[in-house]
Structure 1
Amino acid sequence: MKRGSGADFEAYVASRWRPLVRVAYLMTGDWNTAEDLVQAALERCLRHWSRVVADGAEDAYVRRTMVNLHINAIRRQRVRELLTFQVPDRAGADDHRRVDDRDQLYRALRRLPARTRTAVVLRHYEGLSEDATATAMSCSVGNVKRLTADGLRTLRGYLRIQMADVRTASDEGGRT
């Protein structure tokens, strides 16, 4: 198969779709928006796929395109959606704690400003270096450090509040 061909692009999409959608979900907070974001990014990348493949940086190029499209969409938004808590399906008693923890983290992530959330997701979920995150976000390494530090501090605060609410609710439940 020739590098940069349509078949090469299809193989890339087939192998990377789910990881890209997971990253997009963490950036957007919504599965449908995440899939739309990945699809739009891949559509843009297809136009220049032979050049992208020649550079050997497919993931970095697609990720940067996703970040740029996401930031542009946020800038165009006039009215923000109000996201509400939705009880997840639980597979069993053993998964109860893990699902709750993940849900709390997703809710806390959605409360972060978009650029801060993007920096935290790229650094700590995707595991990118500060340099790679700065490149993907078109900003300085210092800005990535600041955004990440602010985001983690804010997340810790949100999660502490959520845990206190959970403890209070469980204490009140035991008294009735």
Structure 2
Amino acid sequence: MAANAQGTAQVMDFEEYVRNRQEALLRSARRLVPDPIDAQDLVQTALARTYPRWGDIADKSLADAYMRRVMINTRTEWWRARRLEEVPTPELPEGSVDDGAEQRADRAMLLDALGMLAPKQRQVVLLRHYRQLSTEETAHALGMSVGTVKSTLHRALARLRAELERQSNGYGRPVEPATGGTEGVCAAA
């Protein structure tokens, strides 16, 4: 009978603590989690975890510190568990792995289009866009004036655009490319 009276006193003591400190506990929880609903859940979970051990807390003046520690540990458990969860999305991610075939095809098409340019045009395009030299640096490297580099680049890019558009529409490559190829360009670039 005495054990039952002690258990009832312990329940009453815990209920009184909850009534008196509920707002303070909720404020502490709000500092730990941004969402007010999650803060309420955190307090309830901490209270549920503390209740079975309430009798083990000898100095009840330290109950707030004990509760804060339980809330911190609970929040950490939630954070770890959520970090490993899958994130729902409206669309499934694409299941294929990019093998680079499309990039290789684009590169081959670009090299074909570069083969259609005159050698000086090809050199200007490669120095300006592949080597990323300035207009002045390109002019110096090729022994041209800055104006000539600009006009050559403009004409070369227009021809490249037209050639790439023609190739992407499936018309194929012309039989005879412009003389020079791309071999000598890399040495100049």
TM-score normalised over the length of structure 1: 0.41
Q: Per chain length, whose mean CA-contact separation is higher, i.e. which structure has more relative contact order (CA < 8 Å, sep 6+)?
A: 1
